[in-house]
Amino acid sequence: MSPILVLLCHITIVVLVSSLALAVWGGVLLRQHCALLVIVIFQQLESELKKLQAIIQEGTQSFDEVLMQLFMQKIQAELAVFQVNTFSQAHLLHS
């Protein structure tokens, strides 16, 4: 299950539990407890989201580095082919 889908499920569960608790039991203390519960769960979800963003950023940076290395190898290979072609043409012209 994707991390974003998990976050959405957690948020949905919190909202449903809070709504049910308020509807069934009511009362000021219960509302405050539910509000605190929602805040704590929201903070946990926010923390998880930050962790996931860091993982994504690290993966993106790693991918960019590998892509740059591959691009440099491609440029070096094209340069070598160009030099061989230029040398071959020069050799043919002088023979």
| Phi, psi values for residue 25, rounded to 5° | -100, -35
pLDDT tens per residue, range 29-47: 566 667 777 788 888 888 8
- Model pTM score: 0.54
Distance CA(48)–CA(71), nearest Å, equals 34
Q: Which residues of 36-63 are buried (b: 16+ CB within 10 A; e: fewer)?
A: eeeeebeeebeeeeeeeeeeeeeeeeee
pLDDT tens per residue, range 67-83: 999 999 999 999 999 99
Distance CA(25)–CA(39), nearest Å, equals 20
Point out the least confidently predicted range of 10-24, 31-45, 55-69, 81-95: 10-24
Distance CA(35)–CA(28), nearest Å, equals 10
